[in-house]
Amino acid sequence: MGRRSVLAVIGAGVVSACTSGKSEPKKTSDSASASAISTARVTVAPKTGAANTAVEGALSVSVRSGSLTSVTVTAEDGTRVSGGFSADRTRWTPSGRLSPSTKYSVRAVATDKNGREALANTTFTTIAPEATLVGYFTPEDGSTVGVGMPVSLNFNHAVTDKKAVEQAVTVTSTAGVEIAAHWFGDTRLDFRPENYWPAGTKVTLALRLRGVEGASGRYGVQHKDVTFTVGRNQTSLVDADKKTMVVRRDGRAVRTIPITSGAPEHTTWNGRMVISEKYLQTRMDGSTVGFGGEYDIPDVPHAMRLTTSGTFVHGNYWSSAATFGAQNVSHGCVGLHDTQGAKDTGTPAHWFYENSLIGDVVEVVNSHDDTVQPDNGLNGWNMSWTQWRAGSALS
């Protein structure tokens, strides 16, 4: 396993990722004293990333060594799920059935007997009605995204007639640029232009899947338009050798940030990676990605996902300030100086988090590793335009 292993997430809704290098684990527990870490442990069922979740009886949130203070469950259209706590506030369950074919996000917060918080963030998707084909899309309708954001569809069933399905899905933009499709396996279909979207572009995804037989006896049910807006042009270049990240906005360098990337034994992927998720704080447990007990940090601040396998750019409060710009000590992530609690507005990690959008591109160069695979996250920019277009069922 290790950093290259496919994302594995424990039931507690832990975000799997890399953190500080082998020289740092002891420093983690030293700098974040025992009194600062909550003993409460939150568990969310189903596990994060689960698909085909039952609409009734499958969702629950529980806590060990603490009590739940808040549970928020939100559908992809913004609808919140009502529910209730047990008398001792150690368990939360929804009050009714969930909607089928829907992606949900869960945020749960608990406190231990000393008032210290623990949290869990998860996402899951409910089961589709029998014999239907549903495409779960990214980004969300009405969102504003970075210039590297592809349109990505993940289907609930393997597609055997890719041509019919691709013909029923169109992506257009106000920029008038050519947009091409690419299949990753039998369940994922992405769209992108040859180059990054121009800033200010409006992009529309038109799903006309209703009645389309994508596999034997399995028909599409969606007839829906999704529109999103491309924000300012921001890209960031991480030089693993120089240990810097240069942030460019609309063609101008706006900030150079000292960073730490993967240690020699846990190098960071090279290549262009798109921010796909943002967490103000989240837990990262090394045991979920093959690092055993090397680290388990309950409150990693300002975390932004770059790959499905667990690469993040995130705040780091457990390494000394002198580390950044001088040493590569992480398990493959890009670390920025930060303070515990994600409340200090003067740190580089806070600035980068507040100034980043889902869809922004972070490119890593000069790392002693391979280029990230295009389907490891939303990272199709690591294919040439010729390679990308060849992945269309209509080419």
Find the mean pLDDT for residues 320-332.
Answer: 96
Indicate if the pLDDT at residue 1 is higher than 60.
Answer: no
Selection from 127, 76, 73, 111 nearest residue 95 by Cα:
73
SS3 of the chain: helix, strand, coil, percent, to 5: 10, 40, 50
Task: Please report where in the chains the tokens 């085909």 appear, as a residue.
Answer: 52
Find the mean pLDDT for residues 70-97.
Answer: 95
Which is more confidently placed, 101 or 265?
A: 265
Give the span between the Cα atoms of 134 and 159, in whole angstroms: 10
Find the mean pLDDT for residues 306-327.
Answer: 96
Q: Residue 3's pLDDT band (boundaries 50, 70, 90)?
A: very low
Find the mean pLDDT for residues 52-61.
Answer: 92
Task: Give the contacts of 71 (CB within 8 A, at least 6 positions apart).
Answer: 61, 83, 85, 92, 106, 107, 108, 109
Selection from 379, 367, 350, 361 nearest residue 248 by Cα:
361
Tell me the sheet residues that pair with 249.
Answer: 234, 252
Q: How far is CA 65 from the centre of its chain?
A: 28
| Tokens linked to 15 | 């975000």
Give the span between the Cα atoms of 236 and 246, in whole angstroms: 6
Task: Please report where in the chains the tokens 């680290």 appear, as a residue.
Answer: 295
- For CA atoms 88, 80, 11, 359, give the dihedral sign: negative
Q: Which of 54-58, 245-249, 261-265, 358-362 has the lowest mean pLDDT?
A: 54-58
Indicate if the pLDDT at residue 23 is higher than 70.
Answer: no
For the chain, domains (ranges, CATH) are: 2-11+233-381 (2.40.440.10), 40-126 (2.60.40.3780), 132-232 (2.60.40.3710)
Q: Which of 17-21, 204-208, 210-214, 238-242 has the lowest mean pLDDT?
A: 17-21
- Give residue-wise pLDDT tens across range 157-193: 999 999 999 999 999 999 999 999 999 999 999 999 9
Give the span between the Cα atoms of 273 and 390, in whole angstroms: 21
Indicate if the pLDDT at residue 211 is higher than 60.
Answer: yes
Indicate if the pLDDT at residue 333 is higher than 70.
Answer: yes
Q: Residue 36's pLDDT band (boundaries 50, 70, 90)?
A: confident
Q: What is the pLDDT of residue 141?
A: 97
Find the mean pLDDT for residues 314-320.
Answer: 97
Q: Residue 5's pLDDT band (boundaries 50, 70, 90)?
A: very low
| Tokens linked to 374 | 């295009």
Task: Please report where in the chains the tokens 């034997």 appear, as a residue.
Answer: 216
Exposed e or buried b per residue across 244-255, where buried means at least 16 C-beta atoms within 10 angstroms of its C-beta: ebbbebeeeeee
Indicate if the pLDDT at residue 383 is higher than 90.
Answer: yes
Quickly list H helices, the chain: 25-31, 162-167, 348-354, 385-390
- Give residue-wise pLDDT tens across range 349-382: 999 999 999 999 999 999 999 999 999 999 999 9
* pLDDT, the chain, mean: 90
Task: Give the contacts of 227 (CB within 8 A, at least 6 positions apart).
Answer: 141, 142, 202, 203, 204, 205
- Give residue-wise pLDDT tens across range 274-300: 999 999 999 887 656 656 666 678 899
| Tokens linked to 110 | 């608990």
| Tokens linked to 90 | 């150690």
Selection from 54, 58, 160 nearest residue 102 by Cα:
54
Q: Residue 27's pLDDT band (boundaries 50, 70, 90)?
A: very low
Phi/psi at 3 (5° precision): -65, -30
Name the pTM for this structure: 0.75
Q: What is the pLDDT of residue 217?
A: 83
Q: Residue 33's pLDDT band (boundaries 50, 70, 90)?
A: very low
Let me know how long the chain is: 395
Q: What is the pLDDT of residue 200?
A: 98
Distances 236 to 223, 272, 286, 355 between C-alpha atoms, Å: 37, 9, 26, 11
Give the span between the Cα atoms of 164 and 183, in whole angstroms: 13
Indicate if the pLDDT at residue 25 is higher than 80.
Answer: no
Selection from 312, 308, 323, 315 nearest residue 339 by Cα:
315
Q: What is the pLDDT of residue 149?
A: 99
Amino acid at 189: L
Q: What is the pLDDT of residue 293?
A: 65
- For CA atoms 11, 14, 17, 20, give the dihedral sign: negative
- Give residue-wise pLDDT tens across range 111-128: 999 999 999 999 999 888
Answer for the pair 337, 349: CB distance below 8 angstroms, yes or no.
Answer: yes
| Tokens linked to 25 | 């684990």
Give the span between the Cα atoms of 140 and 226, in whole angstroms: 7
